[in-house]
Structure 1
Amino acid sequence: MKLDKSSFTLLETIISTLILSIIIVGFSNSFFYDNLDEEYILLNKLENNFTTSSYSSDFAKQNKNLTLKINETQTKTITVKEIEYKDNKIRLKKYEM
């Protein structure tokens, strides 16, 4: 009578666990996740600056005149302040009256 062994040996279990832990550590320390954290922090900071209207030197500010047409006959000109943040990946604009 021949017995077939179908279970893992201790050595195979250790090797499988080692390979799996290397893969998990590799994904958790990858550049992709770190980059997302930095972009999230930057976007959160920009949102706070736009909300509180506390603009640093990173923001470009200028006044612009807009001409509005009312009923195809009347025109009205208003002055708005344009606040812009421009980066390599992000470009945001806000208009204030």
Structure 2
Amino acid sequence: MKFTVKKQDIPIGKLVEVSVSPKIIVFNNGEQIFAVSGICPHAKWPLELGFVKGQTLTCGGHGWEFDISKGNCVTNPGRDLKNYRVIENQNEVIIFDE
């Protein structure tokens, strides 16, 4: 399955939900776009309500931290987010759920 999003709908520095089922969020750091599952494995908090500093996504609910580029949980290793493959072309971002 794949999801297509217009690049203009992913502002730099903002977490954006692009799919509800499965819940997928994206983040544009100005150089690259990352896509990960959008629910915190700790307490099922919606991760688009969190924030990103550097490559660390922090859950707004209880502060769990994840590497946005890989989905790895920094706070509790092994409780990782699903990482989605992203391809950027001219005006679109394609997210693959593989």
TM-score band w.r.t. shorter chain = under 0.3
More helix, by proportion: 1
Structure showing greater relative contact order (alpha-carbon pairs closer than 8 Å, 6 or more residues apart): 2
More strand, by proportion: 2
- TM-score (ref. length: structure 2): 0.23
- TM-score (ref. length: structure 1): 0.23
